Amino acid sequence: MKRILLVIGAKGMLGRDLMSVLQSSLPNDEIIGWDIEEIDIQKEEDTVTNLGKLRPDIVVHIAAYTDVDGCESDEEKAFAVNAEGTKHVALAATRCQAKMVYLSTDYVFDGNKREPYLESDSPHPLNVYGRSKLKGEQYVQEWVKDALIIRTQWLYGRYGKNFVTSILQQAREKRVLSIVNDQIGSPTYTADLAKVISVLIQFNAQGIFHVANSDLCTWYIFGQAILKLSGMDKMRVIPISSKDLGRPAVRPSYSVLNCQKLKKETGLTLRPWSEALKDYLTTHRLTIGRPDSQGR
Ligand SMILES: NC(=O)c1ccc[n+]([C@@H]2O[C@H](COP(=O)([O-])OP(=O)(O)OC[C@H]3O[C@@H](n4cnc5c(N)ncnc54)[C@H](OP(=O)(O)O)[C@@H]3O)[C@@H](O)[C@H]2O)c1
């Protein structure tokens, strides 16, 4: 029987990749994408009513207020969208008896562990964004039976501004780049993540899963790889500390995710981040540096 899959946040960076992956990998299902124009998840009644009319079988909730520094100065909005908004979606999904998939973040951890984080490790977010997303996780667990929560990190992709487009933009404008070298994680390509989300849906996976490209690096190492693969390795790059950069939100110095559970339950391991980056830069060479060229 044809199922209805609803993606909320369908026009974001991950959302656009996810829509096309779901459309091609689940051809017998109807894939519907909503974003802020169709539904404002901050509004409980609208969210419940709109989902009630559509009656989806699966709700993939990836909408969020993702500006990590912006969340620090606007805590109210961070919690209204990422926590309360998620509660509204969870409530609506439960009323429709829909399965729910929620995207969360490595920023639920504080980085003190210094070895890859397991799904069972206790979260302890350092910033408002992490706290609001963790609250979202808790609402999903509280309201939806057998929900799937996927924690991921350091996303970049074809659609939307991200670290890769920002480095290439800065490389065109500046003579020297300063990049943070005291945060360790795994850059993750949205096209790879989207495929895993589709597989996890097909496996009817439940509970928390960590999903990221394999291998780890700092933003500085990642930045150097971007420049090298783009033929700009002559650019001078200076490693700096997070303190030197002085961003409003504190980030964990180590937030590598252990993805062994994914491997054990589905057989999947994501390729190393360096391979994914090469693929991304080769595939999107013409549009790189113009992240809004796809209409956003
Ligand atoms: N980016 C990362 O590095 C990263 C890392 C870990 C986890 N995640 C999680 O992965 C998911 C996707 O991230 P992303 O980077 O693809 O995000 P994104 O590009 O910022 O997309 C999020 C989408 O949600 C929409 N949205 C915001 N507020 C909304 C509201 N009240 N109602 C309905 N839609 C709303 C946004 O619309 P506007 O653009 O108009 O606001 C946007 O289209 C998020 O849940 C995020 O927390 C991201």
pLDDT tens, residue by residue, 73-126: 999 999 999 999 999 999 999 999 999 999 999 999 999 998 999 999 999 999
pLDDT at 293: 36
Whether pLDDT at 199 is above 70: yes
Q: Residue 215 and residue 145: Cα distance in Å, rounded?
A: 33
Please report the atom of ligand 1 found closest to the CA of residue 296. 39
Mean pLDDT in residue range 176-192: 97
Whether pLDDT at 291 is above 80: no
- Pair 2, 54: CB distance under 8 Å: no
What pTM was computed for the model? 0.95
**Radius of gyration over alpha carbons of the chain, in Å?**
19
Q: What are phi and psi of 37, to 5 degrees?
A: -70, -35
Ligand 1 binding pocket includes 14 (Cβ within 6 Å) = yes
- Pair 184, 217: CB distance under 8 Å: yes
pLDDT at 234: 85
Mean pLDDT in residue range 222-240: 93
Is 129 one of the catalytic residues? yes
Question: Which of 34, 35, 66 best tests ligand 1's pocket when mutated (most atoms within 8 Å of CB)?
Answer: 66
Provide the CB-side half-sphere exposure for 215 (13 A, CA).
Answer: 12
The model's confidence at residue 41, banded by pLDDT at 50, 70 and 90, is: very high
Ligand 1 binding pocket includes 12 (Cβ within 6 Å) = yes
pLDDT at 89: 98
Ligand 1 binding pocket includes 149 (Cβ within 6 Å) = no
Candidates 102, 107, 117, 129; catalytic one: 129
∠ at Cα 136 (131, 137), nearest 5°? 95
